[in-house]
Amino acid sequence: MPERKEYAPGTPNWVDLQTTDQDAAKRFYGELFGWTFNDMPMGDPSGAVYSMAQIKGHDVAAIAPLGDQAAAGVPPHWNSYVAVSDADQTASIAEKAGGTVFMPAFDVLDAGRMAVFADPTGATIAAWQAKNHIGATLVNEPGAFSWNELLTPDVPKATAFYSKVFGWEAKPVEGMEYTELRLNGEPIGGAQKPPMPGLPPMWTIYFTTADTDATVAKAKQLGGSVMVEPTDIPPGRFAVLMDAQGAAFNVIKMNPM
């Protein structure tokens, strides 16, 4: 169901980009995916805004400044969020399960309450307790996100952690070095070892596209780069891209069901 009005706890529900050049990123993704933006004040003395990306009036993602993290050497990156019923409790469970809590639960104006933590292998993820913002109201459509994927050197260790925190079930895919993550029997993400040396543990995201090759060509024209050229895999045709500021993301045209 592409349009969403709610998310069951444990369901990935939102993605946002933190970047060193918010205006340039808005131009890049706006042209690549057809996004329009609604700039919302973040309540910061600097006047920073949270640029809500929309497709046909639906919230699909957001772009925000990287801020002080840039000085600490944190590169531009996409963040993944998971819906929870209690962000405080989720952060406590994460810590007891061996995770590292970077940001204890805090209120984000009247939008919701969130916490940020890393799993025991080092990949960072956010928990989102919705108030006025449920997350993406459109998914699995061109320009909207469709899949979250964990890259980690220790899949069993990481998936055991997420089972305790979010209730996910890890199901290895037959014939592939890939683990599907399920919630109540439904696939909600995946996990695998990093596909190339030197990649740190991280959550990556996929955006749906109607034409992977055309999207890759457009990204190049807009100043992006290609980390993995269009490639056919069982679910569809995908590619790994990087925007001009250095944030990586995936695009995929899904095969017909």
Q: What is the 3-state secondary structure (H, E, C) of 124-150?
A: EEEEEEECCCCCCCECCCCCCEEEEEE
pLDDT of residue 121: 98
* pLDDT tens across the length of the chain (257 residues): 599 999 999 999 999 999 999 999 999 999 999 999 999 988 777 789 999 999 999 999 999 999 888 778 889 999 999 999 999 999 999 999 999 999 999 999 899 999 999 999 999 999 999 999 999 999 999 999 999 999 999 999 999 999 999 999 999 998 889 999 999 999 999 999 998 888 899 999 999 999 999 999 999 999 999 999 999 998 999 999 999 999 999 999 999 87
pLDDT of residue 211: 98
Per-residue model confidence as pLDDT tens digits over 197-245 = 888 999 999 999 999 999 999 999 999 999 999 999 989 999 999 999 9
Burial of 195 (0-12, 13-18, 19+ CB in 10 A): exposed
DSSP 5-55: S---TT-EEEEEEEES-HHHHHHHHHHHH--EEEEEE-S-TT--EEEEEEE
pLDDT of residue 175: 85
Please report the domains of the chain, with CATH numbers, ordered by start residue.
Answer: 12-130 (3.10.180.10), 145-254 (3.10.180.10)
3-class state of residue 248 by DSSP: strand
Angle between helices 22-33 and 212-221 (to 10 degrees): 150
Burial of 30 (0-12, 13-18, 19+ CB in 10 A): middle
pLDDT of residue 253: 97
- Phi-psi map region of 246: left, alpha, beta (phi>0 left; psi -120 to 50 alpha): left
Tokens coding 67: 């801020």
Angle between helices 155-166 and 87-96 (to 10 degrees): 140
- Phi and psi torsions of 107, nearest 5°: -80, 140
Compute CA distances 20 → 51, 71, 182, 244, whole Å. Answer: 14, 10, 34, 10
- Phi-psi map region of 14: left, alpha, beta (phi>0 left; psi -120 to 50 alpha): beta
Tokens coding 134: 């449920």
- Phi and psi torsions of 115, nearest 5°: -140, 150
Please enumerate in sequence order all residues whose Cβ is within 8 A of that of 28, keeping only pairs 6 or more positions apart, or say none: 219, 222, 223, 224, 243, 244
d(CA 229, CA 216): 8
